[in-house]
Amino acid sequence: MEAVPILEVENLSVSFHTAEGKMNAVRNVSFSIGKGESVGIVGESGSGKSVTVLSIMGLIPSPPGKIESGRVLFHGENLFEKKIEEINEIRGNQIAMIFQEPMTSLNPIHTCGKQIMESVLIHTEKSKQEAYDRALYLMNIVGIPNAEKRMKEYPHQLSGGMRQRVMIAMALANDPEILIADEPTTALDVTIQAQVLKLLHDLKEQFNSSIIMITHDIGVIAELCERIIVMYNGQIVEMCLYRDLFADPLHPYSEGLLHSIPKMTKDEKLVSIKGQVPNPFEEISGCSFAPRCQYQQEICLKEDPELLEVCPGRFARCHFWDRTK
Ligand SMILES: Nc1ncnc2c1ncn2[C@@H]1O[C@H](COP(=O)(O)OP(=O)(O)OP(=O)(O)O)[C@@H](O)[C@H]1O
Ligand SMILES: [Mg+2]
């Protein structure tokens, strides 16, 4: 199964205090990731995927955000107890993140080359020349043509796909042990998406980095990840090997997700899951998926099921995970 974990998230709960009231964005989330392993996180918009990984990075804005409980252990040490300098040292170095929107995290007034060099220089003792060489190497690795010329260009001079590659190059500046990618391909067109995925795949092989990949697209997980975490309304509802989920989804929401994978034949329509995502400001008594669930029973509206380990390494949060019984 899973290798010795390098990152463990334990009972993470995160809330936001807004004008509309308090909402629980992430509720009691626990998972771990081993060296060289890749895990995909899927779930609808607002299910808490980004908040989960931003918490790992120490990037939850507070206020309005608050870590209500939990620990994030990196090599056994709780990141929430570290000083800001120590966190800054780990962030962007041992744990790096690729954000969804490259323009928001690239600085428009510096050249792409300078920004990659900065990522190298912040965390290492390298000289400027060494940082330049490293930046050039990374630009090549991520498949940016005419890398030397591109180094001198500003982010707005590059296409979306090329900017995303610059972001990936920055994230890889110091061979991170863990690479977190939050929807790295959403803003890209389909061919570029495939190239970026191939790139992440190659990088995993080359650097043996662990990858946490967030996506709306379960097909992306199939290509890149061994394990999958399905989130719904701030909770993990299923967690297992991707192939197990694909063969036999235990949570009705995962079942719906699998059915919503676009089929190749023309006549089959994309099946979307019926109903609305719950209002995050409302307290729910039972299972939060119950109102949309075709298998709903009385108990589902009264009791929120626990995340059960139904067999080694397979977790599901459903009273009726074994619906064949
Ligand atoms: N800074 C913030 N202030 C207030 N609420 C927030 C903030 N950031 C996130 N939230 C809320 O937390 C919940 C979880 O958000 P999150 O960004 O983790 O969703 P997500 O699963 O990443 O969705 P998407 O697929 O759209 O990126 C949402 O209801 C969101 O509105
Ligand atoms: Mg998100």
Ligand 1, from 13, 24, 49: best to mutate by most atoms within 8 Å of Cβ? 49
* Closest CA to ligand 1's atom 7: 16
Model confidence at 270: pLDDT above 70: no
286 lines ligand 1 (CB under 6 A): no
Residue 325 lies in a domain: no
Tell me, in angstroms, the distance from the centre of ligand 1 to residue 47's CA: 7
pLDDT confidence of 289, banded at 50, 70, 90? very high
Residue that finishes a domain, picked among 157, 175, 193: 175
Ligand 1 mean position, distance from CA 48 (Å): 6
Strand order in the sheet with 178-182: 95-98, 178-182, 210-214, 38-42, 227-232, 235-241, 314-316, 308-311
Residue 309 forms beta bridges with which residues? 315
Residues 297-322: what's their mean pLDDT?
Answer: 96
Same domain assignment for residues 159 and 229: no
Confidence band for 318, pLDDT divided at 50, 70 and 90: very high
Distance from the alpha carbon of residue 153 to the mean position of ligand 1, in angstroms: 33
Do 78 and 208 have their domain in common? yes
Shared-domain flag, residues 120 and 269: no
* 280 Cα nearest atom in ligand 1: 29
Contacts of 96 (CB under 8 A, 6+ apart): 170, 171, 172, 173, 174, 176, 178, 179, 180
**pLDDT recorded at residue 3:** 62
Higher-confidence position of 81 and 189: 81
pLDDT above 80: residue 276: no
DSSP-derived letter for residue 79 is: G
Q: Are residues 188 and 281 in the same domain?
A: yes
DSSP 92-159: TTTEEEE-S-HHHHS-TTS-HHHHHHHHHHHHS---HHHHHHHHHHHHHHTT-TTHHHHHTS-GGGS-
CATH number at residue 279: 3.40.50.300
Same structural domain for residues 306 and 205?
Answer: yes
Tell whether 82 is covered by a domain: yes
Q: Looking at residue 295, what is its pLDDT?
A: 94
Q: Whose CA is nearest to atom 8 of ligand 1?
A: 51
Same domain, 148 and 272: no
Q: Examine the pLDDT at 307 and tell me if it is beyond 60.
A: yes
Domain boundary among 152, 175, 198: 175
305 and 205 in a single domain? The answer is: yes
Ligand nearest to the CA of 230: 1
How large is the average pLDDT for residues 128-154?
94
Residue 266 has pLDDT above 50, yes or no: no
**Max mean pLDDT range (127-141, 155-169, 258-272):** 127-141
| Ligand 1 proximity of 25 Cβ (cutoff 6 Å) | yes
Q: For residue range 190-244, what is the model confidence (pLDDT) as tens digits?
A: 777 787 788 788 878 888 889 999 988 888 898 899 999 999 999 999 999 999 9
Length of the chain: 325
Q: Is 280 in the pocket of ligand 1 (CB under 6 A)?
A: yes
Nearest CA to ligand 1 atom 5: 16
Percent of the chain with pLDDT over 70: 93
Q: Is 125 in the same domain as 27?
A: no
Domain tally, the chain: 2
90, pLDDT greater than 90:
yes
Computed over every residue of the chain, the mean pLDDT equals 89
pLDDT at 254: 94
Q: Which atom of ligand 1 is nearest to the CA of 46?
A: 19
Reduced to 3 states (helix: H, G, I; strand: E, B; else coil), residue 253 is helix
Question: Are 242 and 301 in a shared domain?
Answer: yes
Interval 97-108: pLDDT, tens: 988 776 677 899
Nearest CA to ligand 1 atom 18: 48
Residues 11 and 158 in one domain: no
What spacing in Å lies between the alpha carbon of 297 and ligand 2's midpoint? 31
Distance 106 CA to ligand 1 centre (A): 21
Q: Is the CB of 49 under 6 A from ligand 1?
A: yes
Q: Is the CB of 14 under 6 A from ligand 1?
A: no
Between residues 47 and 281, which one has the greater pLDDT?
47
- The H-or-E segment that residue 284 falls in is none
Owning domain of residue 51: 5-94+176-316
Look at 13-27, 105-119, 123-137, 190-204 and tell me which has the smallest mean pLDDT.
190-204
What is the pLDDT, as a whole number, of residue 105? 78
DSSP 196: H
Overall average pLDDT of the 262-277 stretch: 57
pLDDT value of residue 261: 66
21-80 pLDDT, tens digit each: 999 999 999 999 999 999 999 998 899 999 999 999 999 999 999 999 999 999 999 999
Is there an atom of ligand 1 within 6 Å of 48 CB?
yes
Ligand 1: residue whose CA is nearest its atom 22: 50
Question: Of 175, 193, 216, which marks where a domain is finished?
Answer: 175
- What pLDDT score does 268 carry? 45
The answer to whether residues 134 and 80 touch, using CB atoms and an 8 Å cutoff, is no
What is the average per-residue pLDDT within 149-154?
96
